[in-house]
Structure 1
Amino acid sequence: MAKKKKITAEDIISFYMNYVLENEKQPSSVYKFSKSNNFDEAIFYNFFNSFETLEKEVFNAFYNYTIKALEADKAYLDFNNRTKLLSFYYTFFEMLTANRSYVVYALSKHKNKLKYVGILSKLKESFTNYITHLEIETIDLKQEKLEKIQQKTLNESAWIQLLITIKFWLDDTSSSFEKTDIFIEKSVNTTFDLLDTKPLQSIIDLGKFIYKEKINMNL
């Protein structure tokens, strides 16, 4: 049988997910894996340099499919940041649920220490980039260095929140994972409530005013 030539990264990811679900282990070699799926080994290396790299891309693919689905909905572009992030969460976890058997397999050894799982590093990179581009309103510190630190802190906090939600979803035994949906709504809304900068900005502005007036009165 002639070997397949038109193989995409998505095809290889699909082959890999099917293999580990059927065999409950990683393929023993790229050669055997490629041969069993009827394509040249070299094609694998056009996209990935190892199975470990491929595993990272699986979770990044879930992210990419999520973004593609969101951007296909014209209404999404007009959502405010809170609604956009909620939409991301709901769509992303629908994607995870559709592939739950694989996700549980891939994360089973790291269930209680997801923060340190290298398999999620590509997902973290993409997700924190997504958070940055949401341009969530933060306090105007008027110093570029401090604002960069503030954005980095926001990105890390958002990432930790996503990890906590993944952990909650992994442990969720409710019908249709309805408890995860509730957790998503409450956690995202709480985060945005805490990020509401208007009251805090007003306090900062008042403090600056009082400080300035006190200095002037002492002159």
Structure 2
Amino acid sequence: MAKKKNFSKQQIITWFMDYILEQDQEPSSVYKFCKTYNLDESSFYDHFGSFGAIKSSIFSTFLDHTLELLQKDETYANSNARNQLLSFYYTFFEILTANRSYVVLVLRNKKQALDNLKTLYKLREGFTGYVDSLGIKTLDIDQEQIKKFQRKAISESAWAQLLFTLKFWLDDNSPSFEKTDILIEKSVNSSFDVLEATPLQSLVDLGKFIFKEKMAMS
């Protein structure tokens, strides 16, 4: 049987995810993967140079799909930065939930912690760029270097917050992952309350919630 030469990046992603879910592990080689799906190996390399590149692209695809859905929502377009980020989180984690079996298999392997950082690097680039595009208000200081530092600090802290939420979601056993939804609301609101110098009650609420859930999970 002639090997397939005309296939898309998305088809490779779908086959790769299916392979991992069915075998509980990555293919041992590109050769074996291509043989499983009757693919021409050289055509595979036209799209991806390694399995690591596929895994990274999968998470950036989740991000792209999230943004595509948000762009079609008129309510989102007319919302402020706080509500837009909340909408992003809810939509992004809905997409993760639809692919939870794959995400858990890929990210829960503690032996591959460094590899997981590589897996998420495209997601990190896309997400921090998205946060920058929200135009979140910073302190009104008339020095460009300080403004750049503030914007960098916001995007980096937002990324740390997303990673924390992702870890929480991986461990969340509540129905419909409702505790993750609570964490999203409290953490995003707390972040904006700090930026807007509003009362610290939301930070206290967030701290109590995280402490209570960590105690319950331990």
The answer to whether TM tops 0.5 is: yes
Q: 2: CA distance between counterparts of 1:5 and 1:112?
A: 32
Structure 2 Cα separation of the partners of residues 34 and 101 of structure 1? 23
Change (3 A) 1:71 1:192: same
Change (3 A) 1:181 1:111: farther
Show the 5 A alignment for 1:7-46. Answer: 7-46=7-46
Structure 1 residue 183 displacement after superposition? 0.7
Most deviating of 12-21 and 110-119: 110-119
Q: 1:105 and 1:146, CA in 2 relative to 1: closer, same or farther beyond 3 A?
A: same
Deviation beyond 3 Å, 4+ runs, structure 1 = 1-6, 110-116
Deviating more after overlay: 113-122 vs 173-182 = 113-122
Q: Does residue 84 in structure 1 map to residue 84 in structure 2?
A: yes
Residue 128 (str. 1) matches residue 128 (str. 2)? yes
Q: Calculate percent identity across the aligned residue pairs.
A: 53
What displacement does 1:198 show? 8.8
- C-alpha spacing 1:112/1:143, structure 2 compared with 1 (3 Å): farther
1:92-122 CA-partner distances (Å, limit 9, x unpaired) = 0001101111111111124996897221111
What letter matches 2:131 in structure 1?
I
Asked if the contact 1:114–1:163 (Cα under 8 Å) also holds between the matched residues in 2, the reply is: no
Q: In the superposition, relative to structure 1, how do residues 111 and 180 fare at CA in structure 2: closer, same or farther (>3 Å)? A: farther
Does the Cα contact within 8 Å between 1:132 and 1:155 map onto a contact in 2?
yes
Counterpart in the other structure of 1:177: 177
Shift of residue 56 of structure 1? 0.9
Cα deviation, 1:179-216, whole Å, max 9, x if unaligned, reads: 111110111111111111699xxxxxxxxxxxxxxxxx
CA contact 2:3–2:40 (8 Å) conserved in 1: yes
- What residue is the counterpart of 1:194 in the other structure? 194
- Deviation, structure 1 residue 52: 1.0
Report the Cα distance in structure 2 between the residues aligned to 1:93 and 1:36, rounded to whole angstroms.
31
SS in 2 for 1:47: coil
* Aligned-residue offset at 1:22: 0.7
Alignment partner of 2:120: what SS? helix
C-alpha RMSD of matched pairs (Å): 2.2
5+ unaligned residues in a row in structure 1: which ranges? 200-219
Find the aligned partners of 1:182 and 1:112 in 2 and give their Cα distance.
29
| TM score, norm. by length of structure 1 | 0.84
Matching residue's letter, 2:58: V
Q: Using the alignment, how far apart are the partners of 1:197 and 1:114 within structure 2?
A: 36
Contact 2:52 2:118 in 1 (8 A): no
The answer as to 2:155 corresponding to 1:168 is: no
Q: Which structure ranks higher in relative contact order (CA pairs < 8 Å, sequence separation ≥ 6)?
A: 1
Structure 1 distance, partners of 2:158, 2:14, is: 29
1:30 Cα offset (Å)? 1.1
Q: Partners in 2 of 1:93 and 1:108 — Cα distance?
A: 16
Q: Which residue of 2 aligns with 1:211?
A: none
Provide the residue aligned with 1:105 in structure 2: 105
User: 3-state DSSP class of the match of 2:107?
Assistant: helix
CA contact (8 A) 1:137 1:197 kept: no
1:208 matched residue in structure 2: none
Instruction: Please name the residue that 2:57 is paired with.
Output: 57
Of the two, which has the highest radius of gyration? 1
Check the 8 A contact 2:57/2:122 in 1, yes or no: yes
Count the aligned residue pairs. Answer: 199
- Helix, strand or coil: the match of 1:140? coil
Aligned pair in 2 of structure 1 residues 114, 154: CA closer, same or farther (>3 Å)?
A: farther
Question: TM-score, structure 2 length as denominator?
Answer: 0.85
After the TM superposition, which of the residue ranges 5-14 and 60-69 deviates more from structure 2?
5-14
Letter in 2 for 1:103: V
